[in-house]
Structures are given as C-alpha cells and as structure tokens.
Structure 1
Amino acid sequence: MLPSEEDVKLYAERGWYLSEKLLTDEETEALTQASERFYAGQRDRALPVRPDRLADWTPADGEVQRNSDYIHYQDEVIARILRKPIVGAVAARLAKASEIRVFQATLIYKPPIVEEASNIVSWHFDKFFWPTCSSDRMLTAFIPFHECTEESGTIEMVNGSHLWPKRHGAERPAGDPADRAREYLLNGDADRNGAVVEKVPVHIPRGHMTFHHCHLYHGSGLNRSAHPRRAVSLHLQDETNEYRHHTLSTGRQQPYKHDSLVRTTAAGLPDYTDPEICPVLWPVPGGATPATG
C-alpha cells in the first residue's frame, strides 16, 4: 500500500498523491459515527487551554461548513484511526522523511446545501498558515469518510503549484462573492509565475485519501450532493520541523494556535514535538523505520 518509486517522483512533480485503500469500510464508518457523537457534544479530552483562532463549530453556528480543530486530541476513536501506521508510512515515503508527527487535525463537514457559501474553500497553500514552522517538507492527508466526488465538493489540486517561486496565501478583494474571490488569488499568482493553471478535482474512493505538499495550492467547491461531505484534514510534519520566530511587517510576532498548547523547550520556545499535541505516527515506537526511497 506504500507509494511506488514512480509515485514518489510524481508527487515531487505535481505536489499531491492519491493513496491506495488505507482505511477499511469499518474504520470509515467508525469515523462517521464518532464525528456525530462529537457534534452532539462528546469529548474524550478537553483542550487544556483555548488557543486564539480556534475553529470550533457548535450547533449555534447553524448549517454552515463545520470545522473542528484538534480532533486528534479530543476524540479517541478518531485519533486511533488517524494514527494507523500505514498513514504515517505513506507520508514518510512521500516526504522522504525518517519521522512523521501530527501537526494538527481538523474535522470538516460540508452540509448538502448548494447555496451555502461557507462550503467554498478558496485556493490556498497550507504553509501560509504555518509561518512558525521551519520545514518545507510538511504535508497534509485529506481523509474523507466516504467516496468523495466533484459533486460533493472534493478537494481540488493545482498541479505543480508547490514549485512556483512566488505565491501569496490569503489575498482577495474585500466584499467579493466567495466564488469570485476563490479564483482571484490563484489567477494572480499564476500570472506572477507565468504558469498554466491545471486544476484537478480528485475523485477519492471510500477508504482512500490524498496527500499534498505544504506549498501546493488547493481548495474545494460547493457540496451539490444529497449528503454531507465528511472528512479530516490531517496536517503532518517531518522530523526537521521546529518552531521559528515569525514577525509581521508591523513588527508584531505572529504565533500559531499551537504555541499556547504545546510544552516548551529548554529555551522556552514552543515544542512541536510535544507528544500530547503532536504525536509521532511513524515510525511506530519500537517498530521498524520506513522505506523512504
């Protein structure tokens, strides 16, 4: 079930990979049931503090796109499935890493409401939101709980955009409708790079998942199906990643939401190896090392 050498080469060229079937039907059903219990208020562990900019949907928010951060910490059933060794092993091979740790995990639910604008996820690359991370080999596993199609608002990749020398992460004209704003950023960055934009909506069979590079532009559209689109975005870090200072042009330090949650190093800095928030997925403690190819 690991990526072949050709798969790893293709990942380096286009910036994403569609896996083999890594989860059983029983596991994806367990994810669905656990997510429903979570939405009903069940928590196996509460976060020790509430960080700034936490995505934390509650029923009072209504039928918008639901985003719930740190699901790997708060729900044991979901955490156990996300920690399945093959998930970390695939990531290690793609990133050519000797270790893969969780960075963050967000539970996502797109309601089956065609006109719901919050279902549109504008083009972005994940590293833009992780300015305090030192590694450029980080990657994300997008893990739907069911077959995920263009009709349901599957993830869309922009082939090769992780190699663009110039990129911006979150610019868009104020007040633009979500569908127009979604295109603005990508088109502007493509112009700056002289790139031909190749957008690929990925059809993901049940139990399969995608992995994408932290610099790859991606997004998703409306859910036009009759069922909610359920998934987890599992953000992953390699062994080299550590906290680094990031200062805005205003001179203000820009933290990540982790920085108030994780333990600190001997130097007093946020520790992105904290096993409670950022557990190791691969290699399995006491197990074999991955074939990184």
Structure 2
Amino acid sequence: MVGPEDIAHYRAHGWWLSPPVLSDDVLDTLAFGIERYRLGERDRHLAVDLGGDGETEVVAQLDYLSLQINEFLDALLSSPVGEMAAALAETESVRIFHDQVVIKPPFDPNRSAKVGWHSDRAYWSSCSSQSMITAWIPLEDVPEEKGPLAVWDASHTWPETETLHSFGDQDLQTIEARFADKGHTPQVLTLPMTRGQVSFHHCRLVHGGYPNKSSEDRIAYAIHMQDDVNHYVPPAAASGRTGHINDLLCRKTADNKPDYADPETFPQLWPV
C-alpha cells in the first residue's frame, strides 16, 4: 500500500495522504465506540483518573479510547494503519503511544474552534525518538468547509518545532509570523479528505486547523505511534514539559523509569 514514491514524499514533506483504505465497517465500528464512550460505557479503566473526559473544551479531545473501548483497538488491529505507518517511518514495528478522538464543533460566531499550530513532538519531550508518526482518520468526508487537517509543508525539518505545544492557541497568525521572522515562512496546506482515507504526519510537522464552518461536528481519530527504538528519556528543561500522562499509566523498567514498551499501555499495531 505504501511504495517508494510515497516514502520519498513523506521524507520530503513530513506528511502523506493515503487513498481510501479503511472500510465502512471499520469506520462504523469507530463511530459506535465513540457513542459508547460518550454514554459512559467502559470495557477497561485507566490506571489513573485523568480528571475529566475532554468534552468541556471547545475542541473536544477524548483520550485513550484504545485502552478503554474494545472497538477501537479491534478496529486498529484489523486495519492497515500500523503497517502503513511502519513503512512511512521506516521502522520494523510500531506501537501506540497515545490516541484521541478530536471533535470540532459546528460553526458558532460567538466562539473560535480552531486547532492551534503545534507539533506532536512538542508534547513528547520524554520520548527518545525523533521519528514518531501520527495517523489522522476522519469518520466522514472532510471538505474544506469542515475544517480539515492543515499542515505546514516540510516544517518537520525546521528548528524549534519541538517546543510548539500550542494546540489551544487560537492566534494562528502570530505563530506563523514568529517563524517567518526567523526565515521560515509557512506554506500552509489544508488536506480535504474523503471517508476511508488516512493522513500520516511526522511528529515534528507543524499542523492544526481552521474552524468547522458546517452545521455538524467534524470527528476525527488520531493515533500517535512509536517507532521501534523509542524509549523514555527525562525531558529537558527547555522543552517546558515535565513528562507525559503515559508515565502514570504504564509499568516501570528495572531502573524505575516509565516503560514505553509496556504492551498493556502501548499495544503493538505492526507486526500484529
């Protein structure tokens, strides 16, 4: 499903958009799992209480559904997502690091529902790898009006993206100007998608999104994945982060550090 030209595109641009590869059955299963979660059902419980389910934010984030709802992990394991991610990241295996459903509400003139420009790597300062990868799966068609994923083309090669933890920052232009002042003018690309497509992006790629101008929710599922070499490292002070919530969920290594290879918290998606 992923050929040499696709890998070359991913290397150069930091993102890649698949053809339709996910069946209606897989996407319907994910939608059913979301409904179960929002109704309060759980097949398993997290090791710690995260203090809320993310529904109160303007752009809602429902975290760790693969650890709580059977439909999510089952759907991922039966899909080609893990294999495709491994090919693009050029790694022998991939494990989940974190997953979340992101719900962008319909247009409301009284509130902004953008996703601020950020990089995933900025939130993963406790990870040793610089090659982690995210798959982004919309549950329905996402034309321009619904606020699809937007990326800064090739920004994964720029310095300072690893400290851009500004998912909730609505002032997109100020962030763009900050990089332009340093000689890196963002080339913003929006990625409209049809149901069944998957987009993949590098952990250092700057991405976000504009408001959903339609009359219905835009629902997407993000799966953040580790390559085979990733392990815990103490976050540098300059990162502005103290770690990741994963550190509280997973088992510890012999030297009492979070074990990012814990199969219960980080299920392997490829090879299955």
Cα deviation, residue 196, structure 1? 3.4
> Alignment partner for residue 185 of structure 1, among 175, 184, 189?
175
Q: Which moved more, 1:136-145 or 1:82-91?
A: 82-91
d(CA) in 2 for partners of 1:106 and 1:11? Answer: 23
Does the 8 Å CA contact 2:117/2:166 hold for their aligned counterparts? no
Q: Deviations over 1:28-47 (max 9, x none)?
A: 12211221221111111111
Query: Where in structure 2 are there 5+ consecutive unaligned residues?
Result: none
Q: 1:190 to 1:83 in 2, by over 3 A?
A: farther
The unaligned stretches of length 5 or more in structure 1 are 285-293
How many residues were matched structurally?
Answer: 271
Describe the shift of the 1:198–1:238 C-alpha distance in structure 2 as closer, same or farther (beyond 3 A): same
What value does the CA root-mean-square deviation take over the aligned residues?
2.2
- 1:55 deviates by 6.5
Aligned to 2:29: 30
**Inter-partner Cα distance in structure 1 for 2:99 and 2:87:** 20
TM-aligned CA deviation for residue 238 of structure 1? 0.3
Task: Name 1:7's counterpart in structure 2.
Answer: 6
Aligned to 2:223: 234
Q: Report what 1:56 is aligned to.
A: 53
Cα distance in structure 2, aligned partners of 1:217 and 1:103: 19
**SS of residue matched to 1:80:** helix
Q: Which residue of 241, 253, 258 corresponds with 2:246?
A: 258
Post-superposition offset of 1:249: 5.3
Give me the identity figure in percent. 34
Pair 1:218–1:49, CA change in 2 (3 A): same
TM-score between the two structures when normalised by the length of structure 2: 0.93
Alignment equivalent of 1:217, drawn from 176, 188, 206: 206
Q: Distance in 2 between matches of 1:92 and 1:74?
A: 24
Query: 1:123–1:183: 8 Å Cα contact kept in structure 2?
Result: no
Take 1:116 and 1:70, find their aligned partners in 2: how far apart are those partners? 30
Secondary structure, in 3 states, of the residue corresponding to 2:88?
A: helix
Give me the whole-angstrom Cα distance separating, in 1, the residues matched to 2:47 and 2:165.
29
What does 1:197-212 align with in structure 2 at a 5 Å threshold? 197-212=186-201
Partner of 1:279: 267
State the alpha-carbon separation in 1 of the partners of residues 201 and 112 from structure 2: 22
Quote the residue 1:81 is aligned against.
Answer: 75
Partner residue of 1:21?
20
Alpha carbons of structure 1 residues 55 and 207: separation in structure 2 relative to 1, 3 Å:
farther
| Whole-angstrom CA distance in 2 between matches of 1:137 and 1:243 | 14
Range with greater deviation from structure 2 (16-25 or 95-104): 16-25
